[in-house]
Amino acid sequence: MSRMARFWQRVTDGMELSQLWNQFRLEARSSYRLYSHDVDSSRTPGIGKGKHVVNLAVQFFWAIVEKLSPARRVLLLLALLLLAFNGGISWQNPHGQVKVFELDGADWAALVLLLLVILEVADRVVMKRDLQIAKEIQEWLLPANPPLVPGLEIAFATRAANTVAGDYYDVFPRPSSLPNETFLIAVADVAGKSIPAGLLMATFQASLKTLAGTSITLTELVGRMNAYACSNSQNGRRFTTTFIAEYRSADRSLIYVNAGHNPPILRRNTGALERLNDGGIPIGILANAPYQSGTAELQSGDWLVIFTDGVTEAENNAGEEYGEARLLSILYANSTLTAALLLDTMMRDLDRFVGDAPQHDDITLVLLKAS
């Protein structure tokens, strides 16, 4: 391999030009969303088109500048002033006698911009490292493999929209003080994404595991989780939708509480559909909110599909949502598969539908099949 080829390999990490272009498009869209959030694109009545364009440019300029620290804003403004400077700048010794070298304004501007880029990259590297550590910690909180539950096949998958996710799922046994072989099934979706949602997800996991170790009923468990969540939910702005269920393998009974979550789909082996709606509002909104439980009895061949809205609301480049209808069609067409194979089929179909469109929300899908 030639030196130039090795250089290009190192720069691109071996990615093809089409992959590089797709990555650039995704990053450009993400950056545009970040900056355009602070831009009011509405046109004031009586303002001409040219003035409106100038106003948008000014808003974008400040949206970019205000993302920098004050010191870096000064560097950026200095670089812009140097770019506008047409003359040369001479560098002389302290006595003003010998000219050492000369740079024009554009050269100095390039050096200042390079310094600014170096500072921003350093911040990004530190942040990326911290996010990677946060991601690894979060992965420790989620089960790597489904547990062995008598009478059930279980498969699950999750995909974060950012490095850190706000979705949660788990299946684990409750204490021996309850009926033997009682398992808790939980799926939750914290409002928002990235670090704030990830922190609340960790809080949700901790409170769930703590309360699950007691002998309280499922409705009491959800009620106490809600009371705790309301104490740090920023007046209901940081709420969590969740579906929590107890599965008793002895009689295949399912007791559940749906706290504002997407209603899971119970597809009977006869083809009939049921929705598990009973419960209450999302946790973290109202401290004394009442919750009620629902029940279902699983029969051999029944499917329970639990998902977050990142699945059904995933969009393709045309802005179309994946929707529950597509999810159901895959379920009906492949109901004889194992849970793991059906999960793989569903995720592949979701990927085909979305294509290279950016992912806007965390995706979590949990499948249970009664055997």
Q: Are residues 147 and 137 in the same domain?
A: no
Is residue 205 included in any domain, yes or no?
yes
Which of residues 52 and 243 earns the better pLDDT score?
243
Of 122, 141, 160, the domain-final residue: 141
Is residue 276 included in any domain, yes or no?
yes
Of the listed ranges 7-11, 78-82, 133-137, 246-250, the least confidently predicted one is 133-137
Instruction: Show the domain range for 247.
Output: 143-370
Is residue 72 included in any domain, yes or no?
no
Distance CA 233, CA 222 (A): 15
Q: Does pLDDT of 337 surpass 50?
A: yes
Q: Are residues 190 and 137 in the same domain?
A: no
Say what the pLDDT of residue 25 is: 75
Is residue 321 included in any domain, yes or no?
yes
Is residue 90 included in any domain, yes or no?
yes
Percent share of the chain, pLDDT over 70: 78
How many CB atoms sit inside 10 A of residue 318's CB? 7
- 136: region left, alpha or beta (phi > 0 left; psi from -120 to 50 alpha): alpha
Q: What are phi and psi of 66, to 5 degrees?
A: -70, -10
Tell me: the pLDDT tens digits for 156-197? 998 887 766 678 899 999 875 555 688 999 999 988 766 777
The predicted model scores a pTM of 0.71
Residue-averaged pLDDT of the chain: 82
Q: Are residues 177 and 317 in the same domain?
A: yes
Is residue 329 included in any domain, yes or no?
yes
Q: What is the DSSP letter of 149?
A: B
Q: Are residues 254 and 305 in the same domain?
A: yes
Which tokens sit at 1? 């391999």
Of 98, 121, 141, the domain-final residue: 141
Given a contact cutoff of 8 angstroms between Cβ atoms, the answer to whether 359 and 343 are in contact is: no
Is residue 35 included in any domain, yes or no?
no
**Region 25-46: what's the mean pLDDT?**
74
Q: Are residues 130 and 264 in the same domain?
A: no
Q: Are residues 101 and 243 in the same domain?
A: no
